[in-house]
Structure 1
Amino acid sequence: MDVGERMSPPKGRVKATDVAEHAGVSIATVSLVANGKAEGRVSAATAARVRASIAALGYVVNPAARSLVTGRHHRVALVAHDIANPFIAATAAGVGEVFGKDMQLILAAATGEDGPPDIATISSFGVDGMLVNIAGIQDDPQLGEAGFPVVVLDESQGPPGLSRVYFDVGIGATQLSEHLAGLGHRVVVYLDSERVRETFDDRRERFTAAFRQHVHRAKIVSARSRIDMHVAQALVARSLPSWRRQGATAIVTATDVQAYGVLAALAAADVEVPGALSVASFDNNPIAAVTHPPLTSVDLPARELGREAALLVVDQIEKDARPGRSVILPTSLVVRRSTGPAPT
């Protein structure tokens, strides 16, 4: 009798005992095959028979039972602010491309400008590793006691024992400064993030230093807002008269989300972009290509950030790779119609 005909699929949840009876093997053999530990312990023919029974019956390994067998939970947490931000969504998508079906991604998000989630609470869900893209958490002493690999995203500095993936922001920031200088801009508003993070300091410092290098007597007007489109829009509505009196001809934002608010405020005020004011930003989320007008932005490849971080954490979980490695991703300027010559 063919293995698929030995018994009808049982009603309800399929158990390991059902697979064992279907394949004519022990429950221990089913466990070895289902948990990827059959090599050298189970013959190829028997393993194939068990896999055929698993497929025929639709058996799904119980995660709790598998963790007892393998010592792993097959879950990794991504800790981040603003889970609705397209940048974080793209990062999570990149992580998922690497994990596939073998690893679950848990999103642990702080709401608004709240502090980071508690490490112990995240650990209690049972995770094999953590990806950190949030302010402050990488200095949490609990990370050193977590007992699992940690990879820091979008920050070049921090504890030396942690692996990290971050951007070479200087390349794109320099290209943006050269672009605006070449268009004749001399007075620029830089709308920074209120959130204290090294990545935002890096974006601001690299751009402003390069702009001053390329423009004689350059003037940069500083402003800050939350990474919230509506908050940025309200700030621009209040500040626009002052900025224009100071001679500003361009606005650069630390993130695309803030730039969306800038564009909305300028549209409401009937300010032509880029005729009267140019707008540019950092991130280059997919939405940047469809704003009105399309947004000039420094491309920080979030999806690749997630992929590289996932590869690092998987290597540490599955191959005992050493921690403390760094991956640096290049950046580049994507020019679209939101920037143009400075008005004379």
Structure 2
Amino acid sequence: MIKKKPTIDDVATLSGVARTTVSRVINDGPNVRPSVRRRVMEAIDQLGYRVNVQARNLATGNSRQIVLIHESNLEAEPNSYYHSGLELGALTGCAEHGYQLTTQAVDYAAGGWRERIMSFIESGRCDGLILPPPFSDEPGLVRAIMAADCPVVCISAGEAVRGIAPSIGIDDETAGYDMARYLIALGHRRMAYVKGLEGHISAEGRHAGFVRALAEAGIDPASSIAARGNFTFRSGIECTEQILAGRTGVTVIVCANDDMAAGAMLVCHKHGLAIPGDISVVGFDDTPLSDIMWPPLTTVHQPIKEIARRAADLLVKQIENGGAAEAARHEFVGHRIIERQSAAAPSKLAGILSIAPESRID
């Protein structure tokens, strides 16, 4: 015989409460005493009850659909892991709460991105938005989303947005500072820095922390060489070529993400520079790529998946609370330096090797 699946009424009967109370417990609703909540959860476990998500959606009229926006020019080289890491983390968080996740690529450099994002809300198929940079750096966009009564949580938001909507991320300025302090302790004094996208607040924060550490150590920040990348592997190649063309005593190249660091390492290898014997290279994010390149990359660990999972948790809490906006506060998650073989104390020969112009990578 086929055993009948337990229903919400079975849970109510076993726990000795009303059906509506069971529903509030399942949906993490308010006004349920801890003792009652515990009794209902024990009944759910004993019966092996599982929520019928489709039935619940039909009953509430809620699509249970969360949209993750990420910046992407589909014609350009993608970031190898950051966006997929966010998607994996958000997907985990959504699945835990019975929500569906949709990802939407929006080109920040093109016109009409604000209208496109707002169209997701107006379609009625979006219960909430997760906004990573650079969209989380746009106070006007966030205000428009909230004015449309759409719950939103921002990832790695700038100061202006942190005062408007809930957000989560690492302390990028402190992370950049910590990396610089680590390199200074190794003995590096002449450094190059490959920046991220101009105006990208998280990336700018990393560089600001780097500069602060140099100043505190009595190193003139103007002595460091800066090049502007865009987070892609290709921009890491191009910026490193620029840095090595001058070759003014640089002993370490600091990159604002791991993809650009991989490009920097390729250029160093092509020019016959030993890493870290002739020059050190460090990155940021601790993506899976950083542990499989050669030599393995010293980098800053940013828990990308955990940040996105937590963002989904915060967003679902808003939605289940009737869409009421959470207090505008930023939740910091921890970062740490991951020491691998791409960085070491500078040797006496580091920074003085010359690069022939004809050997450059075009």
TM-score by length of 2: 0.74
- State the SS of the aligned residue for 2:159: coil
Segment drifting more, 120-129 vs 219-228: 120-129
SS at match of 2:340: coil
Equivalent in the alignment of 2:85? 90
Cα shift at 1:156: 3.8
Partner of 1:278: 280
1:75 matched residue in structure 2: 65
For the structure 1 residues 112 and 237, does the alpha-carbon distance in structure 2 shift closer, same or farther, using more than 3 Å as the test? Answer: farther
Within 2, Cα distance between the matches of 1:131 and 1:269? Answer: 42
CA distance in 2, matches of 1:189, 1:224: 11
Counterpart selection for 2:183 from 180, 185, 197: 180
Using the TM superposition, give the Cα deviation of residue 241 of structure 1 relative to its aligned residue in structure 2, in angstroms.
1.8
Deviations 1:137-187 (A, max 9, x none): 442253133322111101242243311102123443233222211222111
- The structure with the greater share of residues assigned to strand is 1
Classify the secondary structure of the residue corresponding to 2:284. Answer: strand
- Which residue pairs with 2:267 in the alignment? 265
Counterparts of 2:298 and 2:104, CA distance in 1: 31
Contact 1:177 1:211 in 2 (8 A): yes
Q: 1:120 aligns to what?
A: 118
3-state SS in 1 of match to 2:129: strand
Q: Equivalences for 1:210-225 in 2 at 5 Å?
A: 210-217=213-220, 219-225=223-229
AA partner of residue 203 (structure 1) = R
Aligned-pair CA distance for 1:99: 1.5
- Residue among 307, 310, 319 paired with 1:308: 310
Paired position in structure 1 for 2:256: 254
Distance of aligned partners of 1:112 and 1:296 in 2 relative to their CA distance in 1, 3 Å threshold: farther
CA contact (8 A) 2:93 2:312 kept: yes
- SS class of match (2:239): helix
Q: Is the 8 A contact 2:194 2:239 kept in 1?
A: no
- CA shift, 1:114, in A, is 3.8
Alignment pair present for 1:230 and 2:234: yes
Q: 1:260 to 1:112 in 2, by over 3 A?
A: farther
1:13 corresponding residue in structure 2: none
Q: CA separation in 2, counterparts of 1:85 and 1:72?
A: 34
List per-residue Cα deviations over 1:103-160 (Å, max 9, x = no partner). 1111111248446462222221611110101324442253133322111101242243
Which amino acid in the other structure matches residue 104 of structure 2?
A
Corresponding residue of 1:16: none
Aligned equivalent of 1:100, options 95, 111, 119:
95
**Distance between the aligned counterparts of 1:171 and 1:338, measured in 2?**
22
Residues 99/315 of structure 1: CA separation in 2 closer, same or farther (3 Å cut): same
In structure 1, the partner of 2:140 is 139
Corresponding residue for 1:34? none
Whether the 8 Å CA contact 2:176–2:205 is kept in 1: the answer is no
Structure 1 contact 316–323 (Cα < 8 Å) conserved? no
Distance 1:172 1:155, change over 3 A: same
2:337 aligns with: 333
Kept in 1, the 8 Å contact 2:214–2:220? The answer is: no
Query: What is the rounded CA distance, in whole Å, between the counterparts of 1:288 and 1:163 in structure 2?
Result: 30
Distance 1:112 1:260, change over 3 A: farther
Partner of 2:106: 110
3-state SS of paired residue (1:61): helix
Residues 171 and 331, structure 1, Cα contact 8 Å, conserved in 2: no
Decide whether the 8 Å contact of 2:237 with 2:266 is kept in 1. Answer: yes
Selected match of 1:61 from 54, 65, 71: 54
Q: 1:291 to 1:111 in 2, by over 3 A?
A: farther
Question: How many residues are paired up?
Answer: 306
Sort the Cα spacing of 1:239 and 1:192 in 2 relative to 1 into closer, same or farther, 3 A.
same
My pick for the range that moved more, 169-178 or 287-296, is 169-178
Query: 2:299 aligned with 1:297, yes or no?
Result: yes
Q: Is the contact between residue 172 and residue 203 of structure 2 (CA under 8 Å) also seen in structure 1?
A: no
Identity %: 22
Give the superposed CA RMSD: 3.4
* 2:100 alignment partner AA: Q
Deviation at 1:232, TM superposition (A): 2.0
Deviation at 1:231, TM superposition (A): 2.7
Matches of 1:127 and 1:217, distance apart in 2: 50
Aligned counterpart in structure 1 of residue 195 of structure 2, from 192, 196, 206 = 192
Rg larger for: 1
Question: Structure 1 pair 342/74, CA: closer, same or farther in 2 (3 Å)?
Answer: same
The one-letter code matched in structure 1 to 2:191 is V
Match of 1:10 in 2: none
Letter in 2 for 1:335: E
The residue that corresponds to 1:12 in the other structure is none
